[in-house]
Amino acid sequence: LNAIEKSASAVKRVAELTSQQSENANKIVEAQAELDNIKAKEKSIAREIESLVSEKFNSVQFQLFREQINGNIEDVCIPMIKGVPYADANNAGKINCGLRIIDALGRHPGKRFPVFVDNAEGIEFVFGVESQLILLVFVAGQELKIEGGKIHG
């Protein structure tokens, strides 16, 4: 009788655990769906933030977030010049990107400072800024000289 009672108790417990397992599986599915909705909202917010920040800069976009393999969002801050990451741009692209960022940041507080650009000898077009722009250009075989002029751009 004791064995039959234990067997009946075990069968009852298995049924309870099977029911709990089913309930837990449903909760997991619901939680995963909620997590997927949160990740989708997070991605949407990330794109909106990138758009709002990038519109403050002239011809420079910012990638502020990157989606990881697991679907999570990683914070980054990568200036992009015509879709090319700053680190991969050529020297002229990097200099002009920097000038655009400096110009945009100077507009916000309304303060302007002189901007020095070194290695300017390889740049055909220099982006104009509202600040004084000082270009440092190396010319082989020439003595140091200072020239004034107006940059258009």
What are the pLDDT tens digits along the chain (153 aa)? 788 888 888 999 999 999 999 999 999 999 999 999 998 999 899 999 999 998 888 789 999 999 889 888 899 999 999 889 999 999 888 998 999 898 888 887 777 888 888 888 878 888 878 888 888 888 888 887 777 766 544
Cα distance between residue 98 and residue 46, in whole Å = 23
> Which positions ≥6 away from 80 have C-beta within 8 Å?
60, 61, 62, 63, 86
Judge residue 117's burial from the number of C-beta atoms within 10 Å of its C-beta, 0-12 exposed, 13-18 middle, 19 or more buried: buried
Q: 0.75 exceeded by the pTM?
A: no
137: tokens are 């250009």
CB atoms within 10 A of CB 153: 10
